[in-house]
Each structure stands twice: as structure tokens, then as C-alpha cells.
Structure 1
């Protein structure tokens, strides 16, 4: 996941986006990446469901 977050941040720097947008980009986290990638989101949901069943949440 970290390479994806790094790529988004690097891409924003290359484009020369505004300071407000740079702050938003710097605040990106794992959940932001998952939100934008349907495949990763489904994998994450499956893992969380399995852990919830296994650990009784």
C-alpha cells in the first residue's frame, strides 16, 4: 500500500498542485487508497470479515 500512497503524492508534486491540495495529498492514508481501488477494497473487506469471524467481533 505504501508505494501507492507514495505514487499519488509524487504525482501531485510533479503536477505542481496548489498548497491546499498538497496538504490533502500529504494527509492520504491507506483507506484513501482503498476507497479509490475497487479490487483492493473487496480484498480488504474480505480480510476484515474473516478476522471478525475468527476473533468474534
Structure 2
């Protein structure tokens, strides 16, 4: 790993990603917390089992 990197899920488990080594990669710490924070903020009030669609932002 490089400086300012953390291990981060490629696809978050909360949206269907697996808890496996294949789903983890080194990621810049600011990117990790920005993206995971945005996703968690948007889905925090959804009931368990709700299907969501993740769309990239421009």
C-alpha cells in the first residue's frame, strides 16, 4: 500500500459486496471516506432488503 491508502471494499457489503479478499483493494483514504460516506448517508434510512441502484456521478 502507498502513503495515505487504506484497504477498502470494491463493492460495499451493505450494497451486496462480499466479505472476501477479492473484494478489497488499496484506496486513497480521502476517496474511501468520501465515497463510502456518501453511499451510507443516502441509504441510512432504507429498510433492510431494499433494492438500490448505484449510479456514477459526473
TM superposition score normalised by structure 1: 0.32
Instruction: Kindly indicate which of the two structures has a greater share of residues assigned to strand.
Output: 2
Q: Name the larger-Rg structure.
A: 1
> Given the two structures, how large is their TM-score scaled by the length of structure 2?
0.32
Structure with higher helix content? 1
